[in-house]
Structure 1
Amino acid sequence: MKFRRSQSEVADSGSATAGPGGHAVSGIHHDHRIYADHVTYAGPPPKRKAPTGVVAAGVAGVLVAGAAAVWFLFGWESRPDGSAFVVQSVTGPPGSPSGDRTFVLEDRRKLSSSELDAINSVSNAGGRQALVEVVPGGVPEDVATIVMTVSTERSEEVRITGIRALKECGTPFDGTYFDGYSQGNVDANVEIGMNLDSPEALAQPIIAKRPAGEPFFKKNSLPLTAGKSTTLTIGAFTSRHGCSFRLEVKVTASDGESTYVVDDHGQPFKVTSKVAVAGKFPLAGYQAAYMQDETYGWQSVDPSTFEGR
């Protein structure tokens, strides 16, 4: 997974570093300290001789003043000793709720007999993730679950103070629908979620299996401590759109707030709602469709005439 600078933050950017596992991390640090290498001095005054004692006293005074300046600039606040935010692992879609074998391809896909055989050979034992390995590009329906394990390299405690989705949403994806026999529910481990149908898509607590209530980070923050991992399970929900999105994470430390953007190897995460149709053919809004029966075998169906289970 990559971390990229939020496009909404273009000033005061920090340098990019490589985190564990090769994850690229870039942060935006609002640092109000003045370092010695940022200070410019005026040219020297005209030279004139002075008594030796005066010169010695002057040198001593400069040294004392310099030491005082160093203490003033750095005495009570040390430079950061590592990255404030490190991602150890990220699992995104197809890491969907357990047992859910329903997903959508954005484009029409006609599977050959050999491809169907390959799907059927793994569908029962391997679940949806194995299916997506055979048929890549699958987008989960209704909710995308992202599991992120994070930590900090700082010796101080830092805190996550905000998470939201940076999203682009349009009509639901209507390519190829895979109608799984076993329908999963929202993962019970999802702790916070974002409603991608709302304008801001801020993280909210999960209430009755949906994000609801006031923003989670309005009154909460999540601590990160060096040497300790924290795992977050985040849901991105939609009931009206097909969405591409990234996660924006705000982290606050002693040197200010940093913003990190998480995506899927340079590509956005995706989730889609079901295409809404009128009438008795629930899949009529798709260009192609495949249904899984009670034996977990897949077969092609005509979406314009398929009446459902």
Structure 2
Amino acid sequence: MVDLVRKERHFAAGSTWVTPDVIDLTNRQLSELNSYAGRPLEEVRFFRSIGGVDPTTSIVEVVLRGNRRDGVRITGMRAVTECRPPLRGTLFYSPPAGEDSKPVLRFDLDDPAPKAYEVDPETHREVDYFARKSISLEYNETIALRLESRTLKYYCDYRFEMQVVGRGEVVDQIIDDGGQPFKISAIWRKKGYTGDIDYRKYGRLYVGGLANPDMDAPWKPWDPADYERQGL
């Protein structure tokens, strides 16, 4: 049923990452990271290798294939979550400079029971995706779905649970990251969940791209309090 599961980066994340632990990059590691300027795939692999977690929004691309000769129908999908306060280890901060397309299905992980929803193009309201439609797959037919999950409040481990109907039976299909949960963390902010970033919450701070005022290297370590005092 599930042919492919692939994590992707949301354009709004830029090159920003959060780690659970306080990380002091060695000179060699920092040089390696800076060598990946303009090479986003290598940069993503580097951050994931040190435990980097997507900030605020994460995208998972899933390719589904019909595996029954009489067809199957997907009638629901939800995110199964375990959430706690946002991570406070190390913030690698580098905001975006471009745009991207919107995903197909969205999940609000701040909701205690996050179901798949979409934004109605006419009313711009959020509506339960599977309350209005289902996804049917004939035998060997495939479909690619982009699943966007978001949190402004928590650090979450999560999996997707998909309800599949075939031969009159309903089966729950789990979608995860190779047997492990996907991970996402909100960014600490000063006022509510949408104010300025509260850099002092983090044990370490590295700044790159447009956020680096010195512009002498793609990434540079900063003291969180000093960076905040500069009003950057």
TM-score range, shorter chain: 0.7 to 0.9
Q: Does the CA contact (< 8 Å) of 2:74 and 2:136 recur in 1?
A: yes
1:267 partner letter: Q
2:144 partner letter: T
Of 260, 266, 288, 2:179 maps to: 266
Report the TM-score when normalising by structure 2: 0.85
Matches within 5 A, 1:44-123: 86-92=1-7, 95-98=8-11, 100-122=14-36
- Cα offset, 1:280, TM superposition: 8.1
Bigger RCO of structures 1 and 2 (CA < 8 A, at least 6 apart): 2
- Is the radius of gyration larger for structure 1 or structure 2? 1
Matches within 5 A, 1:156-195: 156-182=70-96, 187-195=100-108
**More strand by percentage:** 2
Unaligned runs of 5+ in 2: none
Q: Does the CA contact (< 8 Å) of 1:192 and 1:204 recur in 2?
A: yes
Unaligned runs of 5+ in 1: 1-85
1:237 partner letter: R
| Aligned residue pairs, count | 217
Are 1:132 and 2:32 an aligned pair? no
**Cα deviation per residue 1:183-226 (whole Å; 9 max; x = unaligned)?**
566x4240110100011101110369xx9523211121011122
- Cα offset, 1:293, TM superposition: 3.3
SS of alignment partner, residue 38 of structure 2: helix
Report the TM-score when normalising by structure 1: 0.65
SS of alignment partner, residue 127 of structure 2: coil
Q: Does the CA contact (< 8 Å) of 1:197 and 1:240 recur in 2?
A: yes
Q: CA RMSD in A?
A: 2.3
Of 188, 200, 203, 1:287 maps to: 203
1:254 partner letter: R
Q: Does the CA contact (< 8 Å) of 1:284 and 1:305 recur in 2?
A: no
Of 294, 300, 306, 2:221 maps to: 300
Q: Does the CA contact (< 8 Å) of 1:143 and 1:271 recur in 2?
A: yes
Structure 1 runs of 4+ aligned residues shifted over 4 Å read: 278-281
